[in-house]
Structure 1
Amino acid sequence: MRFPASRWLPWLFWLLAAAAALLRPLAEPDEGRYGEVAREMLAGGDFLLPRLNDVVYPDKPPGAHWLMAAGMAVLGPGALAVRLPALLAFAALLALVARQARAGPPGFAAAAVLVTASSPLLWFLGQLATLDLVLTACESAAILCAWRWLHGAPSWTAAAAGVALGYGFLVKGPVAWALPLLILAAAALWERRGRALGRLLHPALWAPMLAVGLPWYVLAWRADPALLGFWVFRETLDRVSSATHARTQPLWYFPALALAATFPWWLPAGAARLRGRKPPADQRHPDARLHLVWAWLPVVVFSLPASKQPGYLAPAIPGFALWLAGWWHERAPLRRRHLVGALLLLGYAALLLLVRDPERARSDDPFARALRAAGAERWNGVQLMGWSYGLGFRLQRDDLVAAGPIPPAWRYAEQQGRVRAPRALAGRYALSFEVLSRDADGDGAPDPGFVLLHQLEDEPQHFHDFPEYCRARGLGLHLWLRTGDAALFSNRPP
């Protein structure tokens, strides 16, 4: 039985992403944050309100956190378990693209899957504990199922689309509904299927969508009524209309990112379009207009708000892959396609070797390993001048003290007056000293404690000033470990 390269080459990209998910340490801040939220869910048994260091963290719905917690229940609280939902979503996305591409001409499906698998944006997101690829899989499934329903498929396809949209709503909120429905409506109008638009409002679609997506929001709002204003204003309106989330980028950001995320597969299409040529009719997919809208409409939509980040573009990449596959048809040399894919695969493998180092991955794994190796993971702990989300995850703790500045994930709790963190430097030093000098057993000696000091590249003076502050008050600190931007001190020799 033969297995041509066009079948197995895309899955080598997935296997390489799986290797990266297994080998790389958790990177700050996103992976540590999402992983710790999921770990605390599983450890505390509270799956309603996400928490981070035992503080309510409502910035994102819990859909992806539930999946990460399920992974930890099977694999334990490690990096692979946290990344498993994104990795499985990557595989599901390849299968969805392959299923949709079957209706194309010979060679179309193989090209579409290869473009999807080799996209640098999807490949990186497929090995990271973030929400974007899980959302992309939900939105892609919804678009493809609903499109079939608009063209007369059985009603179960509408129900499947509704379930996918509902779970997407639990992963990242309203965008999970808005973008797929906008793509479907625009593509239907382009095909002059105005009557089909009414089906997008049909209960067969909306009933499962609301049944899956809405109950958690109602229950969470009843448990914490202040969440409604937080979701409506900070997490929705502010993201669209302001730079509150500090991700402002120029208008050309997403068009340029789209070219980078599909390079070099758009080169034949670009060259042909410059010559005024189109793919011959027998090389086109019957849903070519859907694919074109799916590719470019998100680029336009996400270019309008002030807040931008790369993961927003992920739902457009399957559309680009299906659109560009028309230029890599059966008549194009297969060797050329396989050579391009193989070169990209080798490039990603080389990149993986370069970023395995914990410091280059912006991870605080070295500090967690040092503490665990010394049996110090339960010592009194404080983080000063910054916050590592991954440290709590690695030590399996939710009681580390934040001596300031306040972790960004605590903004909601701070607005509600539920947490306090010193803003003045003197207060931050004093709180850190208080933790390190605790004497719970009353024997006159401080209990074992450590402080992780951050931001040393920007404010190196704290490396000397804080130990001197403690020394002047009768507490000696010992340097345990230092990386480029952080240092671990303890109140007893390590």
Structure 2
Amino acid sequence: MSRPENSPLTRTLTSPWLLAAVVLFAFYWQLGAVPLYDLDEGAFTEATREMLASGNFITPHKDGEPRYDKPVLIYWLQALSASGLGFDEFSLRLPSALAATLWVMALWGFVRGRLDAPTATVAALVMTLSLQVSLIAKAAVADAVLNLFIALAFFEIYRYFLDPGERRSRNALLRAYLWMGLGFLTKGPVAVFFPVVVSFLFFWSQGRLERWLRAAFAPLGWLVFVLVAGPWYLAVYLDDGAGFFRSFFLEHNAGRFGGTMHGHAGFPGYYLVVLPLILLPFTGWFLSLLARLRASWADPLDRFLWLWFATVFVFFSFSGTKLPHYLLYGAAPLFILMARHRDALTSRALAMAPPLVFLALLLALPLVVQIAAGQGGRAHEVAQFELALPLLGPAYLAQIALATVLVVALALWSRPALWQRLVLVGLIQTAVVYGTVVPRVFAVMQAPVKEAGLLARELDRPTVVYRTSMPSFSVYRDAITPHRPPRAGDLVFLRVDKLDRLVEDYPLLRGEQLYRRGPVALVLMHPRAQGAVPGDEQ
């Protein structure tokens, strides 16, 4: 079916004004409505809280210990936002939403300059409404900021490739080094590795390796990079010695590739499974591109975009540590390719099956939770299932069912082009995920942690964490929570499956449960009466 280029729906969906409205909807709606999630948001925001409390803006700390996981830029951005707007979920997530917005704008500007404005708007809409992009745009972590700088560096590299003029190509090259420097300040070597490797492969495939070598060894470019990233790396060395460099570069970078960290392992085909999920609801649209891959290779822009995606995909497929959001480093080119070749999407089944399967899984979720709750398991998991069941009742089912009906109606509505219907499906998916699913998930997993933290803050007693890693507790408690043995008079925050172990480890203390909900508990420790036998006080 040919695209009705001048139809009212086409003009609407390719309007920059609609794009602006969709960005506000996808990135800012519900931004501060749910608690911070653990581990990631809790760890980042606790480090930001301690930075503001201590006045040490060089070495990030979490619960009083140096946090070497990431460089400093995201903490600075969160601290700036929280200082101006108040320390809460909205202000802590705002830098990510703003970075994702700039990422969309950068993609729109690049595609408009290389292709045309309608294609730029479609590419930006697909990016904004894809599941994983909207998730990191609403998360108080470093990934949206990093993806912004990676994308900017790639766009400048292609501009450098196209423009033979000395002045303009030099300016594009210097901007690429600027963005790589800021990316290096956000998450380290990954911000340099992919632009360098992909640009080498691309220039080599185009027979222009000499031009790449001039760019790769440009003294002025590396000077820009060092001036941007170098001062903090020098400052953290002077402030904290070599500890950051050993931990960050060897453990959190080389170690993540060579081994599994924090249990984030994956089988060899992990990203073949993950890619369709992170692109929802546009998975079928992406698959339609594969039939044109050989023809695309002859076009320089398409070749650049495919090399960008393929390098990221292959690299992380061989990494020992695997996480879904790693693929986003190579997702921006897919959004551009989908928009450029939107006519390739001609199969209704291919286009509509992925979002319908996703909604079917959401409809089945109450049954899955009910079955899981009946299977037993660890105490904190059972507690979460029991807390979830009332939230997955008639209201939840009605909202998911309505979304399913709307998507089915779009599937049956044959007049608009399939890509147009998928954009509308993206709006429905965004409403469902952030209006129905995410609030319920966070109410089960994170609301009890927040409530326990606020209670501990109100009680204002010495507090420790026992065999539990949920750093958002410290954020809401507004204080460092050490991992040390509890003493009489201490509050102990822990997961409920650790309660029996607490009794066994500290038989001279007894615990009084002040709070227990879902997966967590807050226990006040008392000295046990002499001669008393440990019981089930917890």
Number of the residue aligned with 2:380: none
Number of the residue aligned with 2:33: 23
Cα distance in structure 2, aligned partners of 1:217 and 1:321: 34
Deviation readout 1:304-360 (Å, 9 max, x if unpaired): 221111121111111111122222159987553332122222222222222214443
SS in 1 for 2:260: coil
Number of the residue aligned with 1:320: 334
Q: Which amino acid aligns with 1:107?
A: P
Instruction: Report the Cα offset of residue 65 of structure 1.
Output: 0.9
Cα distance in structure 2, aligned partners of 1:192 and 1:262: 33
Q: 2:444 aligns with which of 360, 366, 376?
A: 360
With 8-17 and 181-190 compared, the bigger mean Cα shift is at 8-17
Q: 1:241 aligns with which of 250, 254, 258?
A: 258
Cα distance in structure 1, aligned partners of 2:290 and 2:178: 39
Q: 1:479 aligns with which of 508, 513, 533?
A: 513
Instruction: Report the Cα offset of residue 371 of structure 1.
Output: 4.0
Number of the residue aligned with 2:311: 297
Number of the residue aligned with 2:219: 203
Aligned residues: 437
Q: 1:178 aligns with which of 182, 193, 203?
A: 193
2:247 matches 1:225: no
Deviation readout 1:169-203 (Å, 9 max, x if unpaired): 11111111111111122122222222221222212
SS in 1 for 2:29: helix
Q: Which amino acid aligns with 1:360?
A: V
2:466 matches 1:384: yes
TM superposition score normalised by structure 2: 0.74
Cα distance in structure 1, aligned partners of 2:110 and 2:128: 15
Alignment CA distance shift 1:478-1:93 (3 Å):
same
Residue identity (%): 21
Deviation readout 1:86-123 (Å, 9 max, x if unpaired): 11111011111111111225632122112211221111
1:107–1:330 contact (8 Å) kept in structure 2:
no
Q: Give unmatched runs, 5+ long, in structure 1.
A: 404-430, 438-448, 472-476
Q: 2:208 aligns with which of 189, 193, 218?
A: 193
With 228-237 and 194-203 compared, the bigger mean Cα shift is at 228-237
Q: Which amino acid aligns with 1:185?
A: F
Cα distance in structure 2, aligned partners of 1:396 and 1:381: 11
Number of the residue aligned with 1:287: 301
Q: 1:452 aligns with which of 465, 483, 493?
A: 493
Alignment CA distance shift 1:266-1:55 (3 Å):
closer
Q: 1:402 aligns with which of 483, 486, 490?
A: 483
SS in 2 for 1:195: helix
Instruction: Report the Cα offset of residue 260 of structure 1.
Output: 2.6
Question: CA RMSD for the aligned pairs?
Answer: 2.9
2:288–2:345 contact (8 Å) kept in structure 1:
no
Number of the residue aligned with 1:425: none
Cα distance in structure 2, aligned partners of 1:230 and 1:156: 35
Q: Give unmatched runs, 5+ long, in structure 2.
A: 1-7, 347-414, 527-538
Number of the residue aligned with 1:52: 62
Instruction: Report the Cα offset of residue 266 of structure 1.
Output: 5.0
With 172-181 and 218-227 compared, the bigger mean Cα shift is at 218-227
Cα distance in structure 2, aligned partners of 1:220 and 1:129: 23
Structure number having the greater helix percentage: 2
2:463–2:491 contact (8 Å) kept in structure 1:
yes
Instruction: Report the Cα offset of residue 14 of structure 1.
Output: 4.4
Alignment CA distance shift 1:183-1:14 (3 Å):
farther
1:25–1:79 contact (8 Å) kept in structure 2:
yes
Number of the residue aligned with 1:419: none
Cα distance in structure 1, aligned partners of 2:343 and 2:196: 30
1:89–1:137 contact (8 Å) kept in structure 2:
yes
SS in 1 for 2:58: coil
Cα distance in structure 1, aligned partners of 2:32 and 2:39: 18
Cα distance in structure 2, aligned partners of 1:487 and 1:94: 42
2:503–2:509 contact (8 Å) kept in structure 1:
no
Number of the residue aligned with 1:369: 454
Number of the residue aligned with 2:172: 157
Cα distance in structure 2, aligned partners of 1:268 and 1:156: 35
SS in 2 for 1:22: coil
Instruction: Report the Cα offset of residue 16 of structure 1.
Output: 3.0
With 202-211 and 325-334 compared, the bigger mean Cα shift is at 325-334
